[in-house]
Amino acid sequence: MSASTERGREPAIRVQGIEKSYKELHVLRGVDFEVAPGSIFALLGSNGAGKTTVVKILSTLLRADAGAASVHGFDVATQPANVRESISLTGQFAAVDEILTGRENLILVARLRHLEDPGQIADDLLARFSLTDAGGRKAATYSGGMRRRLDIAMSLIGDPPIIFLDEPTTGLDPQARIEVWDAVKKLAQSGTTVLLTTQYLDEAEQLADRIAILHEGRIIVNGTLAELKALLPPAKVEYIEKQPTLEDVFFAVVGSDGAAGRAGDKTSNPVGTDA
Ligand SMILES: Nc1ncnc2c1ncn2[C@@H]1O[C@H](COP(=O)(O)OP(=O)(O)O)[C@@H](O)[C@H]1O
Ligand SMILES: [Mg+2]
């Protein structure tokens, strides 16, 4: 049996007992989770929970102090080059060159990766992310959602089986968020494994096959949306039946102290915010 078929049955990402401190700040205190191939997994947590730290460790930008992690069957500590070949990472701040057109940005990345027919690769990705009409325009003229979609498209060049999206919609307006969500859903439909981090409950609810809540250095809950909702007592029947939302579950397991945001605030649902 070949190594690749063997690998197909393993989790795309496996994280076991990962710990990480920045000096005295013990950010990750034993993080465990697995991500199935071709699924969308949301790592949900407040600002400062350690989401980016997890992503940096999995993408080999940072070394864990303890524990083990593998990505696409490769150990992040001992096989970092193999891990990097298997992933792409899109951060909160888009790596798009404003001076170039969308198409030129894509061609540039394809050339840097020494791929054949960069023009065709660019056109295919523009079509996939509904950017064909905008492809000839400078990226500087793009809306936030278009720019983020272009950024995700750029990160897909070379067909990495696993993509990390670190807060893909933070700072976007509602319409742009929906555009990015559609792009992420299409990604998973095409077989790419997606690990995304978010502080938005509705984002996890919309996109993820599984949701893990990172809180005080550990994964305190991990399951499907239905499993998470089942953690709460059955819905009470008053005048209408109210099913628990992910927000109810989140505040039930995390507690409604200041760090996790205000449970009573229904006007917006970031778990925590810089502002
Ligand atoms: N390089 C660093 N040096 C010191 N502290 C850091 C560093 N990177 C992150 N931190 C701290 O670690 C905690 C977790 O950060 P981070 O992983 O970025 O959280 P999140 O992405 O969930 O907002 C925060 O308190 C942050 O201030
Ligand atoms: Mg972060």
One pLDDT digit (tens) per residue for the chain, 275 residues: 444 444 446 899 999 999 999 999 999 999 999 999 999 999 999 999 999 999 999 999 999 999 999 999 999 999 999 999 999 988 765 678 999 999 999 999 999 889 999 999 999 999 988 899 999 999 999 988 899 889 988 988 888 999 999 998 888 888 888 888 988 998 889 899 999 999 998 899 999 999 999 999 999 999 998 898 888 766 656 666 677 888 888 888 887 664 544 434 444 445 544 43
Number of domains in the chain: 1
Within-domain flag for 122: no
CA angle 232, 234, 238 (to 5 degrees): 125
- Residue 38: inside a domain, yes or no? yes
The protein residue whose alpha carbon is closest to atom 24 in ligand 1 is: 48
Q: Quick check: CB of 198 below 6 Å from ligand 1?
A: no
- Looking up tokens 């198409």, which residue turns up? 103
Q: Which of 18, 27, 195 to mutate to test the pocket of ligand 1 (most atoms within 8 A of CB)?
A: 27
CA angle in degrees (0–180, nearest 5) for 86-79-194 = 30
Token reading at 189:
């439909």
Does some domain include residue 165?
yes
DSSP string, 84-116: HHHEEEE-SS----SSSBHHHHHHHHHHHTT-S
Look up the CATH number of the domain holding residue 180. Answer: 3.40.50.300
Of the chain, the end-to-end C-alpha distance in Å amounts to 53
Residue 134: Cβ within 10 Å count: 20
What is the rounded distance in angstroms from the CA atom of residue 250 to the CA atom of residue 269? 11
